[in-house]
Structure 1
Amino acid sequence: MSEQIVDVAAGLILRRDGKLLLGQRPEGKPWAGWWELPGGKLEPGETVLQALARELDEEIGIQVTAATPWVTYVHAYPHTTVRLAFCRVTGWQGEPRGLENQRLEWVDPAHAGSVGELLPATLPPLRWLRLPDTYGITSIGSPAGLPGFMARLRQALEQGLRLVQLREPGWPDGPASASLHEALQQVLKACRETGARVLVNSVHPEAWWRLADGVHLRAVDAATRPQRPLARDDHWVGVSVHDTEQMAQARRLDADFVVVGPVAETASHPGQPGMGWQAFMDINRDAGLPAYAIGGQGPRTLATAREHGAHGIAAIRAVFGE
């Protein structure tokens, strides 16, 4: 008989200054003294957001006014398996207080471990919070297009862009040419001046992945990989996903995130309808990874994407212009 999975709604309560609320499990509960994200079990008939609002009211005395689904992640503890529906909470009324005799602390997500031992299932969302909400994909085209693109890149970086993918499969001299390598060097220099990360699409040489901050695997390349291609500590791995089978492969590769789509029709493929938000959610359900929506996306669709469970949006024109 298979073990029953316990469904839990967990909230990442984020202040405007970027601080995250953690709670310490009180005496008498399993894992007492360990720190976790506030939340609790779903009751029969509740949606995730309904359960989250109820639990946060009962547990820390706040009334949620703005929350979106994020990542659903299954974690096996020694005596139980939990399916954690992580949600981002960005609006609430009231001041959080421990109504179950638990300590509460606002922490910098990058240094959350400073408060004490963190529950194992709390660690992945802390890592995912490092991902920016916008993923810019290059379309330089040729050496002649590089100066104009660099101007648009610098403008985007000044406006807060912090994640860029070099993707130039149609480069005139080929995707491994010396002229494209020089373009990569210029992109890396500009991004590192602002703290932005650069991933290299897997159509380009593997040596370039390590020169940059990681790789973005095309679905066809991810399918042939038996394991994660780069160490987690030093590099990020993104994967393009178009169906549930490819999502499962991304999980097997221990990817840091996925890009799912196209959600809507794009300027580069006119007349080809996207999969729509329902298909996006179906592919992303129980994925265990943060997902960027792509296809007809941009800053104006970010809120809609998050309402449908996306971490953020990925785009070419909406980020860099023509």
Structure 2
Amino acid sequence: MSNSALNLSSAGSADNMSVPKVTEAAVGIVQRDNGMVLLGERPVGKPWGGYWEFPGGKVEPNETPAQALSRELYEELGITVTRFYSWLTRTYEYEARYDQAGKLVTPAKTVKLHFFIVAEWQGDPVGLEDQQLSWQNPEKLTVGPMLPANTPILNALSLAPMYAITNLKEMGQVQFLERLRIALENGLMMIQVREPHLSRQDLILFAEHVIALAKPFEAKVFINGDVEIAKQLNASGVHLSAQRLMELKVKPEGLMVGASCHNAAELTHAKSLALDYVTLSPVKLTLSHPDATPLGWDMFNQLIAGYSLPVFALGGMLREDLDTARIYGAHGIAMQRDIWGVL
């Protein structure tokens, strides 16, 4: 790309003691329905040549990130973006790089990256700037290395847009496990085991059933509230309550970690801990918390504007709300009832 999202050639010298200017860029996650994403290899001779990246480029003066996205993807790939969603915003500080002789190769630079999910486009992507292109599974890359600022994005992309919360208490085990099997066969890839009425031992036994059913589909299973159970069962991760989140000083190691958030303070703390995702609720009226005042979509959007972690909208969600949630900045939606066919 002529003005790469991560092109360091225009940055000032590493010896410059002034506050570095932040370069803003738009980055497109061009994503097929099956989750495969488009990566490009930076040509040899450019800064970070040989590294792989998501397509995008610098936001020009008097241009919005969304306008920059459309322009850059047309110039770089020859595609016309027809449907996209604002996703994550992350700031990354590149350190200066030197060759073996001590010559400055790429100066230090701070970039603010506005990531967008590109869901629909016209035309077939072509490397118009002599870059090699490759469709990749974010969890199983066959190319590399990735540009440092892009690497954390792969973890976020491994999270499915539909997040199901178990509903054993209302459905009973036989019906629930059957509905879970059907949902997995229909593409469900992310489940949270949340059954506060169960004893610890019964929770372990139930979670084992869920993990066993999910394993052949490579679906992720998160355990609500208990880090030790999650580790014991080799679950994908743990989901923490807002109270537990605010008590947390360091992110637990060895697991993906998500948390429930309801306000700006909780979102800020989750970000400071570099969690893998959050839920934000309640967006709409919900049976689980009938007395809670819903945020509504506008407040939801205001709370996560410019946020760096994937956010799942929670509270009264229906499967049909996914597109609306993404329009308002969500990574996806979390549900306890509609996903299982329970109204």
Per the normalisation by structure 2, the TM-score is: 0.83
Instruction: Map 1:16-95 onto structure 2 (within 5 A).
Output: 16-78=33-95, 79-95=108-124
Q: Where does residue 103 of structure 2 map in the other structure?
A: none
CA RMSD, aligned part only? 2.1
Q: What do residues 20-63 of structure 1 show as CA deviations (whole Å, max 9, x unaligned)?
A: 22222235532233221111111233332221001111222211
Alpha carbons of structure 1 residues 194 and 94: separation in structure 2 relative to 1, 3 Å: closer
| Contact 2:282-2:292 within 8 A present in 1 as well | no
Q: Does 1:154 align with 2:177?
A: no
Q: Could you tell me which of 124, 134, 144 is aligned with 1:116?
A: 144
Q: Does 1:104 align with 2:137?
A: no
The alpha-carbon deviation at position 267 of structure 1 amounts to 2.6
Which AA in structure 1 matches 2:211? Answer: L
Structure 2 spans left out of the alignment, 5+ residues: 1-17, 96-107
Alpha carbons of structure 1 residues 180 and 118: separation in structure 2 relative to 1, 3 Å: closer
Counterpart Cα distance in 2 of 1:115 and 1:73: 23
Calculate percent identity across the aligned residue pairs: 41
Counterpart Cα distance in 1 of 2:157 and 2:302: 23
Alpha carbons of structure 1 residues 3 and 242: separation in structure 2 relative to 1, 3 Å: farther
Alpha carbons of structure 1 residues 47 and 268: separation in structure 2 relative to 1, 3 Å: same
Which AA in structure 1 matches 2:91? Answer: V
Which AA in structure 2 matches 1:155? Answer: I
| Contact 1:227-1:252 within 8 A present in 2 as well | no
Higher mean C-alpha displacement, 192-201 vs 292-301: 192-201
Counterpart Cα distance in 1 of 2:49 and 2:33: 29
Q: Where does residue 23 of structure 2 map in the other structure?
A: 6
Residue 116 of structure 2: SS of its match in structure 1? strand
Residue 73 of structure 1: SS of its match in structure 2? strand
Q: Does 1:225 align with 2:248?
A: yes
Q: Where does residue 228 of structure 2 map in the other structure?
A: 207
Counterpart Cα distance in 1 of 2:112 and 2:214: 37
Residue 45 of structure 1: SS of its match in structure 2? coil
Which AA in structure 2 matches 1:296? Answer: G
Counterpart Cα distance in 2 of 1:89 and 1:301: 18
Q: Where does residue 13 of structure 2 map in the other structure?
A: none
Q: Where does residue 240 of structure 1 map in the other structure?
A: 260
The alpha-carbon deviation at position 8 of structure 1 amounts to 0.8
Which AA in structure 1 matches 2:318? Answer: G
Higher mean C-alpha displacement, 272-281 vs 54-63: 272-281
Counterpart Cα distance in 2 of 1:59 and 1:151: 47
Which AA in structure 2 matches 1:57? Answer: Y
Per the normalisation by structure 1, the TM-score is: 0.89
Alpha carbons of structure 1 residues 105 and 160: separation in structure 2 relative to 1, 3 Å: closer
Counterpart Cα distance in 1 of 2:166 and 2:319: 16
